[in-house]
Amino acid sequence: MIFDFLFPNRCLDCNQLIDKRDIVCELCLDKVNFSNHNYFDTNSLIEKASLQIPVENAYSLLIYEKESLAQKIIHQLKYNHREKIGKILANWVTQRVDLSKKKPDLLVTVPLHYKKLKQRGYNQLHLFSNQLSAYYQIPVHHTLLKRIKHSRAQAKKNQSERLKTKNAYQLTENINGKHILLIDDVYTTGNTISNIAWEILSNSENVKISILVMAMDI
Ligand SMILES: [Zn+2]
């Protein structure tokens, strides 16, 4: 296609020409900081998340540091219209995570406020989780939670402002008895995931929460 000819795909790190289905070249793949998380045993994400919510299992694909290649990849996905990166990240997950034991019943994505969705044009979690859903044969729900308030980035807020966003998500359906795998891009403070988890837990019975994120901040 003419588009490919004009804008050939290049490695996000070394700028070398690569296959259009990749994001980094083979050499630079070694520089991507994959976590050593196992979804079932304890790991740093389970430990961190357990301080805020009862969590069944948790997994982060990448470890996110400032200026790292992992950060570059997520940044391209979220802010540079490279929605398809979500698919590649999902493939990286499926190569590493076996969900067949203690299989979740439903994949649930963190919703974007409609203003942000309009601005970005896509929810960066959708291609990612659709791909996971197809591979693991688990249904995905993108609208189980409704984002009801638009807020500035968490980092720019003070403590009292942060507390106000506690009820920023609203459950739209009854999901009693289900094991939910919550999906987000970057786990930093854990506020988003824990707000959503508490909204689910306090409005449902016999629900289990697990977490899967593209990257976690250390
Ligand atoms: Zn490279």
Between the CA of residue 94 and those of 16, 51, 100, 127, what are the distances in Å? 26, 27, 11, 14
Compute the distance between CA of residue 170 and CA of residue 47 in angstroms, rounded to an integer.
26
User: If you measure from the C-alpha of residue 133 to the centroid of ligand 1, how many angstroms do you get, rounded to a whole number?
Assistant: 29
Between the CA of residue 33 and those of 29, 55, 87, 215, what are the distances in Å? 9, 24, 18, 10
User: If you measure from the C-alpha of residue 128 to the centroid of ligand 1, how many angstroms do you get, rounded to a whole number?
Assistant: 22
User: If you measure from the C-alpha of residue 21 to the centroid of ligand 1, how many angstroms do you get, rounded to a whole number?
Assistant: 14
Task: Determine contact, residues 93/132, Cβ cutoff 8 Å.
Answer: yes
The pLDDT of residue 122 is 94
Compute the distance between CA of residue 160 and CA of residue 190 in angstroms, rounded to an integer.
17
Chain-wide mean pLDDT for the chain?
90
Compute the distance between CA of residue 196 and CA of residue 175 in angstroms, rounded to an integer.
13
Q: Quickly state the pLDDT bin for 4 (edges 50, 70, 90).
A: low
Return the bridge partners of 147, or none. 169
Mean pLDDT calculated for residue range 96-122: 92
Rg of the chain over CA atoms, in angstroms?
17
One-character DSSP codes across 46-63: HHHHHTTS--S-EEEEEE
Task: Determine contact, residues 113/173, Cβ cutoff 8 Å.
Answer: no
Q: 34-217: what CATH class?
A: alpha beta
User: If you measure from the C-alpha of residue 12 to the centroid of ligand 1, how many angstroms do you get, rounded to a whole number?
Assistant: 7
User: For 198-207, what is each residue's pLDDT tens digit?
Assistant: 999 999 999 9
Compute the distance between CA of residue 10 and CA of residue 170 in angstroms, rounded to an integer.
40
Task: Determine contact, residues 105/180, Cβ cutoff 8 Å.
Answer: yes
Residue 157 has pLDDT above 90, yes or no: no
What percentage of the chain carries pLDDT values higher than 70? 89
CATH 3.40.50.2020: which residues of the chain? 34-217
User: If you measure from the C-alpha of residue 77 to the centroid of ligand 1, how many angstroms do you get, rounded to a whole number?
Assistant: 17
Return the bridge partners of 195, or none. none
User: For 56-97, what is each residue's pLDDT tens digit?
Assistant: 999 999 998 888 999 999 999 999 989 999 999 999 999 999
User: If you measure from the C-alpha of residue 88 to the centroid of ligand 1, how many angstroms do you get, rounded to a whole number?
Assistant: 16
Between the CA of residue 198 and those of 120, 138, 191, 195, what are the distances in Å? 27, 22, 10, 5
Task: Determine contact, residues 167/148, Cβ cutoff 8 Å.
Answer: yes
10-41 core/surface letters (b: 16 or more CB in 10 A; e: else): ebbbeeeebeeeebbbeebeeebeebebebbe
Residue 2 has pLDDT above 70, yes or no: no
